Amino acid sequence: METYYNHINGEWCESKTGEQFENRNPADWNEIVGTFPKSDKRDVDAAVKAACGAFNEWRLMPAPKRGEIIKKAGDLLTERKEELARLMTREMGKVLTETRGDMQEGIDTAYYAASEGRRLFSHTAPSELPNKMNMSFRMPVGVAGIITPWNFPMAIPTWKIFPALVCGNTVVFKPASDTPATAAELVKILLEAGVPPRVINIVHGTGSAVGIPIVEHPDINIISFTGSSAVGKVIAEKAGRQLKRVSLELGGKNAQIVMDDADLDLALEGVIWGAFGTTGQRCTATSRLILHHAIYDTFLDMLAARTQKLVMGSGLDPDVHVGPLVNAGQRDIVEHYVEIGKKEGARLVCGGERETSARCANGFFYKPTVFAEVTPSMTIAREEIFGPVLSVLKAVSVEEAIAILNNTVYGLSSSIYTRNVNNAFKAVRDIEAGITYINGPTIGAECHMPFGGVKETGNGHREGGWSVYEFFSEIKTVYVDFSGKLQRAQIDNQG
Catalytic annotation, residues: 249, 283
Query: CA-to-CA distance for 227 and 383, rounded, in angstroms?
Result: 15
Helices 398-406 and 421-430, axial angle in degrees (round to 10): 30
Query: CA-to-CA distance for 212 and 264, rounded, in angstroms?
Result: 47
Max Cα separation, the chain? 88
Half-sphere exposure of 202 (CA within 13 A, CB side): 27
Query: CA-to-CA distance for 457 and 465, rounded, in angstroms?
Result: 18
Do residues 346 and 378 touch, judged by C-beta distance below 8 A?
yes
Query: CA-to-CA distance for 108 and 183, rounded, in angstroms?
Result: 17
Query: CA-to-CA distance for 326 and 288, rounded, in angstroms?
Result: 21
Do residues 265 and 280 touch, judged by C-beta distance below 8 A?
no
